[in-house]
Structure 1
């Protein structure tokens, strides 16, 4: 898949994982009589790193590509992986900001 398409796919996947976990988790909170906004915020904070890992397809493939780039001189592969990680982190952060806005914490 071309770099640009993969970059965008990773961004929105990370955002979707975070939003989905927070929103569905808040529904579960309603079912067990917990405050849904508090649970949604807590889940959004806790899910950030997992959303990044899920979006880039797991950590082992990324580590393998980084390793091959560093030890075999494939610098372009390293740069691409770093961009993918930044894309996933940006998507996760945007998802977190959306959750904050939903919860009214962004004021």
Structure 2
């Protein structure tokens, strides 16, 4: 059980970091190129959300295969773990996007 929560926490933090880091770097690049960083941050955060989820759960189709193969054989525990990892990664990506939106509203 500890292993599940450890991996779930990493999924959350990786997805959160991908969105937050990508949006912040896009804002820096936007500032260097003399374009409005606020709009670019919001655009990139929205575009990176799904890719952050993919990166956090492994970057391949393997988690979906695990769910499919275990559920078709009647083993629900490994499939539920993979679904949990995906949910934690989604939560991290969503919270990263929400943080970027909040910073954009309050930062200027």
Is the TM-score greater than 0.5? yes
Structure 1 stretches of 5 or more lacking a match? none
Aligned-partner SS, 1:104: helix
Question: Structure 2: how far apart are the matches of 1:17 and 1:35?
Answer: 21
Q: What residue in structure 2 maps to residue 28 of structure 1?
A: 29
1:61 and 2:62 matched: yes
The offset of 1:75, in angstroms, is 0.8
**If the length of structure 1 is used for normalisation, what is the TM-score?**
0.91
- Which stretch of structure 1 is more off in the superposition, 15-24 or 66-75? 66-75
- CA RMSD, 1 decimal: 1.4
1:91 and 2:92 matched: yes
**If the length of structure 2 is used for normalisation, what is the TM-score?**
0.91
Aligned length: 105
Q: What residue in structure 2 maps to residue 13 of structure 1?
A: 14
Regions of 4+ moved over 4 Å: none
Q: What residue in structure 1 maps to residue 42 of structure 2?
A: 41
Deviations 1:54-106, CA, capped at 9 Å, x for gaps: 0101231112211221222221111111111110111111111110111116x
The offset of 1:43, in angstroms, is 0.4
Structure 2 stretches of 5 or more lacking a match? none
Aligned-partner SS, 1:59: coil
Deviations 1:14-50, CA, capped at 9 Å, x for gaps: 0000000000011111122110011000001111100
Q: What residue in structure 1 maps to residue 104 of structure 2?
A: 103
